[in-house]
C-alpha cells in the first residue's frame, strides 16, 4: 500500500472511530438525562441545559478528531 492509500484509509477509519466515541458518549448522556427527567420532571429545564452543555463539549472533542481526519484526506 502506498503512503497515499494509507492516509486515506486512516482518515476514513479515524472519522469512523471518532463518531463511534461521540455516539456512545452522547447516547449515554441522553439516556441519563431522560432517566433523570422521568424521575424528577420538575428539574426538566436544568437537566436539559446541562445536557446540552455536556453534549456540546463531547461534540467539540469529536470535531477535533474529525478535523484531523479531514486534513489527512485533503492534504494527502
CA distance 35 to 9: 39
Contact segment (CB under 8 A) with another protein among 1-9, 15-23, 28-36, 45-53 equals: 45-53
Length of the chain, in residues: 76
Q: Measured between alpha carbons, how far is residue 66 from residues 12, 37, 60 in Å?
A: 10, 32, 10
Name which of 16 and 35 has its Cβ closer to another protein.
Answer: 16
Residue choice 53, 54, 72, 75 for contact with another protein (CB under 8 A): 53
Binding mask 1-40 for another protein (x = CB under 8 A): ----------------------------------------
Residues in the site for another protein, rule: CB under 8 A?
A: 49, 52-53, 56-57, 59-60, 63-64, 66-67
Amino acid at each position: 500500500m502506498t503512503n497515499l492509500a494509507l492516509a486515506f484509509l486512516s482518515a476514513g477509519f479515524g472519522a469512523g472511530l471518532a463518531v463511534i466515541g461521540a455516539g456512545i458518549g452522547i447516547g449515554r448522556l441522553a439516556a441519563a438525562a431522560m432517566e433523570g427527567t422521568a424521575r424528577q420532571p420538575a428539574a426538566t429545564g436544568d437537566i436539559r441545559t446541562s445536557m446540552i452543555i455536556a453534549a456540546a463539549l463531547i461534540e467539540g472533542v469529536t470535531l477535533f478528531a474529525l478535523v484531523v481526519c479531514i486534513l489527512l484526506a485533503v492534504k494527502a
